[in-house]
Amino acid sequence: MFKIVLATKNLNKKREIEEIIRLKDIYPVKSPEISLEGAGKPLFNGVRFLSLAHYPSFPEIEEDGKNFRENAIKKALATANFTQELALADDSGLEVEVLKGEPGIHSARFAGEKKDDRANIKKLLELLNAELDPQVKNRISHRAKAIEKINQSLQNVKLALRNAK
């Protein structure tokens, strides 16, 4: 059995990656011995996925790449060097078109170094509120939809009054 170490301490991410691989029939090597069939067998028959949670002394990796790819490569190399095993890494983030791709690689620390999801969401919403074109905002807002319903109702009343004359 050989191991592939996923460059994450997040066990939920580990499960997600395993599930994606299982659903997509992704094979780590080309070999007739590897199969996804058989309940209770390890994923890929003979391949065991570990996370960095199995390596408590693994140091924090500074994700200072210029893009997701650079960060993923850096994490994979650091993981492989530290564990002396095959490594798989990813990097991802939220890219918002109206914010020209931001927060992008800075998603986790968008509102500060603490990786605070609530603060990141709050900052993103504040920026989006400021970035939306007023016409777009008025078209999609609840207020605009409510006013449109009132307008339709008034048109119906006007039509009914006209027909009653």
Catalytic sites, residue numbers: 91
Peptide bond into 134 cis (omega under 30): no
Rg, C-alpha atoms of the chain: 25
Instruction: Answer for the pair 4, 50: CB distance below 8 angstroms, yes or no.
Output: yes
Beta strands in 54-148 (DSSP E): 86-88
Whether the CB-CB separation of 80 and 34 falls below 8 Å is answered with no
- Cβ pair 144, 138 in contact under 8 A: yes
Q: What's the token pair of residue 39?
A: 């309940």
SS3 of 88, please? strand
Helix (H, G, I), strand (E, B) or coil at 87: strand
